[in-house]
Every structure is written in structure tokens, then in C-alpha cells.
Structure 1
């Protein structure tokens, strides 16, 4: 990962989560490189510089001691095809969970049911799998790095119907083991882990904001306004447009490095929470707000192409999240994102000014609840009131509110509490 503490930060990256047009992620069962190339052409035409790719864990590792060489070769072929089109590739490992479906190998279920976070033989197999993927891609110049898995924290707690329960300490032990396996496979690449927002907003969830903001090469943010934000405040409210930026800035309170990169790794315009005619405006407002956050590594939109409606049982919103249709036609939101990318590149990269107003998070109190950070919570609403008043707030832990060195490193000149707002 590029260090930029003593110079100008690199320009933020613009990418998209790649959803194949042929058979969605089931395309790994009948991998067609020509279809993948056509999809990648349509992505590159919009001006993106990277994609996020998703091998399905049960297909790649159907037995605890079998990592299929042909599947790994197909992943390498996808990465190479992307490179031919000027696209870098970040690869997720343990899929895990995608679009309401769980993908766990049979050797972790029913008769072989074992906790995927703590059973030693399962953890060893996961580490071997991540090392294998990393090793296969380590010499590809357009390989960004590995994400441990997509929102795999949803297996660890409610509301999953059959969770593998763990403690925060066990979650951290598992994350460190997985990230180490990624580094062993592909040294020096950008390896991260990615949770859905229960880690930020759900009391007693074993994965925490501190895990997100301190482990791995960057903090990965997954911002979805169907989490109650759009329902509570409305599709065109400040809170809805600013939700992704809020999560980016909230993470910085827990980060030890004052310039830790933050990757907005998933964000999208879910219908009907964001009605289709409003999707371009939502995309523009969300991206503009994120670009106003210092130390943003990049934005990776969810997703590239719509899900084919011949596939059954997806939640309705999943079918229409693409920037392109299932037959690769650009949608209005896709045109909006393409214009933004073009404008940012044409204007050159001007890093945003530091966010000088620090809103204190008093997370050390025994009475503190993560729900206070969630939409409708006292902290969330104070933050949004500041934004509506014209401020550009960021988050600061109470224990650092008097740390002048930390505040100076982040450019914070004003400290306020939620009682002041």
C-alpha cells in the first residue's frame, strides 16, 4: 500500500463490484472467459480503474483438503483479462455471503457442522485457501490484494438464523489469522477485511469498529441506506446522501493511524428505498460526500450489472443494483458515475481539506451503546445536524479529545460534544 504521510495522497480509485451477466456468481460452475471479457469491456468503457471479484468458496474449496486448481486458474484468467482492459482487481476470499445467499462448503455444515471462526481444522483450511489465492495472483501487477471475505461477520450473530457464535476476542484472533494468510500468499499487497454495518451499529456484535479500523491495510466500509437510513429520513435527506461519508469519518475515531486509508468498498442505490429516477442524484451526492473525506482510498460501487431476472429468490432490490443492465446497457446511474470519474480526472486530484470539527464519541462509558451511532441514534443525528448547518465534521474518541498531537495530525481544530449540537 502506498504511504503518503509526507506527501500528497494518491488520487482516489474508482471501481465496481463485478457481478457477471451470465448466471451471476454461479458463472464459476460454467466459466466462460469470452462472456467475462465482454462484461469487463462494458465496465472499462465507463472509466473504472478496478473491479472487486468474488470466487465462491464452496466451488473453489469443495473439500477441506481440496482447493481446485482449475477454479484457481479461472480466477487468474479473469484477473489477466481485466488487466488487458486496464483494470486492477481486488479479490474476495471466503464467499461467504452474497446478496442474501450463504455460500458455505458442505464440510462446515450439518453432519460436519463446525464453527467457521474457531474450529482449528476449519481455520487451518481457510488460511490455506487464502494463501493459495494470494500465491496464484502475487505476480500479477494488476492484483490489488485480498479481502478476507464478504460480510462474513453475518455468520457470527443475530439476525442470522443459525449463527456460529463467538466473542470479540475470538473474532480478532480469526481476523488476524486470515490477514496473515493473505500476506503470506501475496506479500505487500492491500489485504483487508469487510463487515456489514452490524460491526458499527449493533450492540454486542462480536466484530467491532475497532477491528474494522485497526486490522488490515485499510478500513473497508459497506454503506447501505436500506439499513433504516432511507426509511427513517427519506430517500433525498441529508442523512441518506451523507451516510457513506459518515461511516468513513466515524471509522477514523477508532483508527490508530491518523491517516489510515478508508475504502468505500460497497455502496449502491437500492430500490425502492432510492426510487429509480432518484438513483443518479443519489449516486452523485454520495460520491461527492465521500470525495470530501480525507484519506479516501477509493470508491467501489455495487454493482456492475443487474442480476438476471431468470434467477429466482433474490430480494427484489438485488435485481436492479447494477450500473449496467444484464445485457450490458448503461443505466442512468452508470452514466452519472462515468461523468463523475471523467470530471475528477479532468480537474486533477485536489485532496479535500481536513475536517476541522471533531464530534466526540464517548465509547469508553459502560453505558455506551453502538446503537447511538446508528441511524436514529443520538450521535448519528448530532453528526447530521452539523452537516446540515454547514460543518464538515469527523469523529474523535473521547480519550483522544485532549491529544493535541493526534488532533493536529488530523487537522482538527475544534472539539464539540453531542450536547453542544
Structure 2
């Protein structure tokens, strides 16, 4: 764990969005990084677009890889470390998959041997290109790649949990081969924690890779159900951090809040700073937090078409690099350099069965019980039902009280947890 929680941002280029890789302009990147570094943040998460870097299974473009290294070096000059997402994959409602995996060449992203060979070679190449850079944090396999594995994706690449296990292990190994000893991880959107038929599971998220990554977006039903000013909305990121700990074998496994943002109109622009402050404050109250990486650095330019409306205004800075109130909130939090939080001693029981994950989703009994505890001033964490009586496990995490959802929520006979 770092001595203090790390603060960073998901880098969205102000000029050309992620299409900037097609016409890489180092001066524009430097100006963007200057505006990020001015906020006092310490790292960026960057996104090569997979089809631009590996347009053919046997062709990884040297110039594109060199541009990625130039970006990392420019970040180092500004005191910023760099995490690189490899398999993009999916960004801001758009899929970016190389032609050699689609239509006439349709092959499963998670099970086809040729695709796996190509993916591993690509991840290994990116990691190796940055392995000697001191500011290189490590690789994330891709951005929310689990969205390709099940519905609601319109054309999913179906796989079993065992096949996803094998895919994750092989891809993480490729990153380690390219850059030994770095912080290599995988990252999924919250279907991993909430969707019963999602083959990317909580156990994989909490046990494979160097840290657990969670992505918190309150447009998943939380803000719709509870409103912009509510305990569930303002504590949702903290909930995912603490929910992830139930499945971890390491009682102090670091958790990275790798994506979180203030999506309009559920979080209107005039309330975004207050939401940001509440979300960050509550996340910092979670022990073993590796860092917070806000989505995103710069707004999407209105010159670009067809993005969902909310995507245009998620930046901490405008597309002209002007900081918003949300940027000042994050900068203030980073300047305080918060250290580790105290242990959470009350644990809410969650089902270990991956086909019962919907109980943890918005509207589910675990979700509702957690936020009832939080509203009562309790600082809850979670524990699997199969570990609820494991005194060694509880002691290692500092847990002194275990409660079930039915002890917390009102029941037809009346009564609730006192």
C-alpha cells in the first residue's frame, strides 16, 4: 500500500478524444498533462485504442507504441505516473475492436486460440515498451472488458467463468512477462458485482491481479432510485470498495477506485462539486484504498458527434483546459495527502454464490441493508456468508460484529437492528 492514498485522473485528450492516436500531437498532450499536473494529482490512466495499435493480429504498430512511450515520458516530466489500459475495448459507449475479431473474422475474444495469442502479444509488447520507465505503474488489461461477455451487449462473446479465469490468468501473465514486478490488474464495470449471469465474477476481481479495481457509476439505478442527495448515491463508491473485500483472500488487499464520475443529468452540473466532495470523502473512509482516479480529465469536445449527452461534460477540465469546481474539490483532497482509514468493524453478510449477485445490486436486500447501516452512522464492510463464522478471517480484518440483511431491514413482524 502507498503511504498515502493516490489521486489521479483518467486521461481523455482535449483534442480529438482518444482518436488523437491517429494524429498524435505531443504538444497538445503536454498541454493537457500540464493542466492535470496543476491540480496536484500524481497519476494518469491512459487508453491506447486497440485497433489503432494492432490493426492486424500479426501487426503491432511500432509508431503507435512509440507515441505511447512519448506520452509516458511527457507525464514523467510533469511528475505524473502512468497506468496503461491495453484492450480498448469499450470507451464512452463506443466499442473499439480490431477487424480481425469481427464480422467475417468473428472470433470469441475470450476463448479463440488465435485471438488469445494476439492479445497476449499485444499486452506483452506495451508492457515491455514501458518496463524501464520509473513512472510506469503497470498495465490494466482493458477497460470494462466484461461488457463484451454477456448482455446487455448486443453481440456478446459468451464464455464460462472457468474460461474467463483462464483468460485473465494468461493476459496478466503476458503483462508480467513484459514488465516484471509492476502493478498489473484487470478492471470491470459493476455487472461483476451485481449481475447474476456475468462470467466475470467478484472472486476473480478480488483475487487475480495486484489490486482490486472498482468502477462506480450512480446511473446504474442508484441515483434514479434515491436521488442525487442521498446516502446510497453519495456512498456508492465506498460501497463497491467495501463490497469487493468480501471476496478477497488477502484481508488487506488494496482496492483501487479506478473510475468514478459525476454523470449529468442525474448529477446536475451545479451539484457536481458537492457530489464529488461527498464521494471522495466517503471513499477515503475505506481502509486499504490504493487510490482514486476520477473520470475524466477533459470534457469531450462538442465538435465530436454521437456521444451520449452525459459523456460531453464529465471532465474535471473543459476541452479548453479550464478547471471546473469538481477539479478544485479533487485538488484539495489530493493536497491533504490522506493516509489509511481505520478498520471497519461491522460486517454485513453477502452471498458467496455468484448467481445471487443481484442481491447486492441497487434494490437488492444487501444493498439496502448496507445503506441503512450507513445512514445510521455505522461504517459497514462486508463478509461472505461462508466466512461469517471464521474468527481468524474476521480478526485479520478487524471485524468485531457480523450482521445479516434481515437483521438490518424492517420485516413484516416489525423490528430491525437496534
Cα 1:357–1:119 shift into 2, 3 Å: same
Q: CA deviation at 1:146?
A: 0.1
Runs of 4+ in 1 over 6 A off after TM superposition: none
Alignment of 1:200-279 (within 5 A): 200-279=193-272
Alignment of 1:323-338 (within 5 A): 323-338=316-331
Tell me whether 1:386 sits opposite 2:379 in the alignment.
Answer: no
Q: CA deviation at 1:363?
A: 2.5
**In structure 2, distance between residues paired with 1:120 and 1:355:** 44
Tell me whether 1:352 sits opposite 2:353 in the alignment.
Answer: no
Alignment of 1:101-140 (within 5 A): 101-140=94-133
Alignment-derived partner of residue 312 in structure 1:
305
Alignment-derived partner of residue 65 in structure 1:
58
**In structure 2, distance between residues paired with 1:340 and 1:219:** 22
**In structure 2, distance between residues paired with 1:155 and 1:306:** 26
**In structure 1, distance between residues paired with 2:386 and 2:199:** 22
1:273-307 Cα deviation digits (max 9, x unpaired): 10111100100000011100000000000000000
Q: CA deviation at 1:350?
A: 3.8
**In structure 2, distance between residues paired with 1:399 and 1:105:** 42
Alignment-derived partner of residue 373 in structure 1:
360
Q: CA deviation at 1:400?
A: 1.0
Tell me whether 1:400 sits opposite 2:393 in the alignment.
Answer: no
**In structure 2, distance between residues paired with 1:259 and 1:369:** 25
Alignment-derived partner of residue 411 in structure 2:
none
**In structure 2, distance between residues paired with 1:109 and 1:70:** 24
**In structure 2, distance between residues paired with 1:380 and 1:319:** 30
Is the contact made by 2:289 and 2:340 (CA closer than 8 Å) also made in structure 1? no
**From 350, 372, 379, the counterpart of 1:361:** 350
**From 9, 13, 37, the counterpart of 1:16:** 9
**In structure 2, distance between residues paired with 1:258 and 1:10:** 18
**In structure 2, distance between residues paired with 1:402 and 1:330:** 49
The SS at the match of 2:111 is: coil
Q: CA deviation at 1:29?
A: 0.2
Is the contact made by 2:55 and 2:99 (CA closer than 8 Å) also made in structure 1? yes
**In structure 2, distance between residues paired with 1:195 and 1:350:** 26
Tell me whether 1:177 sits opposite 2:166 in the alignment.
Answer: no
Q: CA deviation at 1:352?
A: 1.2
Q: Unaligned regions of 5+ residues in structure 1, if any? A: 3-8
Q: CA deviation at 1:336?
A: 1.3
**From 407, 410, 415, the counterpart of 1:420:** 407
**In structure 2, distance between residues paired with 1:53 and 1:383:** 33
After superposition, the CA RMSD in angstroms is 1.0
Is the contact made by 2:3 and 2:339 (CA closer than 8 Å) also made in structure 1? no
**In structure 1, distance between residues paired with 2:179 and 2:46:** 16
Equivalent pairs counted in the alignment come to: 408
Q: CA deviation at 1:231?
A: 0.4
The SS at the match of 1:244 is: helix
TM-score, normalised to structure 1, is 0.96
Q: CA deviation at 1:360?
A: 0.8
Alignment-derived partner of residue 280 in structure 1:
273
